[in-house]
Amino acid sequence: MTAPETPPPVIVLVRPQLGENIGKAARAMLNFGLTEMRLVAPRDGWPNPDAGPAASGADIVLAGAQLFDSLAEAVADCTHIYATTVRKRGVSKPVLTPEAAAQQVRGTAGRSAYIFGPERSGLETDDVALAHSIVTVPINPEFGSLNLAQAVILLAYEWSKGAALSQPPAVDLDPPAPHGEMEELVQHFVRDLDAAGYFFPPERTDATLRTLRTALTKTGWSCNDIKMMHGIISSLGRNRKFR
């Protein structure tokens, strides 16, 4: 019997202050396949007219956002809760990177939640005490300033790396040209460079040729690439009169 697929984590914004930031967080979520947002006591109420424009089309996230009075209510159905914050004094919790947290979410049965605090102050100690783990982003200690949407997108991205999101269609590259065609290109270079007096002093000719061959053969050029280069060399070698 196949085990049920682990559901995506929910994003819980605790006492968010600006509707614009809620919209930006929704946009960050949808970029990486997350759609379930929960709001705990937003300062300016909900719905908020500033959220929609900032979401830039992530309307499905905003339309489904659920409103709660307390964090405990917002995560009541979650089996593992991750507080995104720096380590809090007086709170002893496992501390994970976003990558480690994402791996744990994907390997944990039941619903998980990432919780984010208000823009100005972050999560309070009581909020963190409710969580099972702390997620901390390795960041420049001299400038640890992440806004709400940035924090959401970091965690959403790490989760998405193990999710089956649609990828851009692959573009097939032209296969590398046979070595014989590359050799003809090398000889074309040699003939024209020799005619132009490039190989000087003469005793350095062999070393220069080796360097040229190495540069040309490590590119993986296609047949079309080589044809183009033949044309370029021929054009440069023609005698032209400029006025």
What structural domains and CATH numbers belong to the chain?
10-160 (3.40.1280.10), 179-237 (no CATH)
What pLDDT band is residue 233 in, cutting at 50, 70 and 90? confident
Q: Is the per-residue pLDDT at 152 higher than 50?
A: yes
Predicted confidence (pLDDT) per residue in 99-111, tens digit: 999 999 988 888 9
pLDDT at 242: 45
The model's pTM is 0.69
Q: Which residues contact 193 (CB under 8 A, 6 or more apart)?
A: 199, 212
State the angle between helix axes of 179-195 and 205-217 in degrees (0 to 180), rounded to the nearest 10.
Answer: 140
What pLDDT band is residue 165 in, cutting at 50, 70 and 90? low
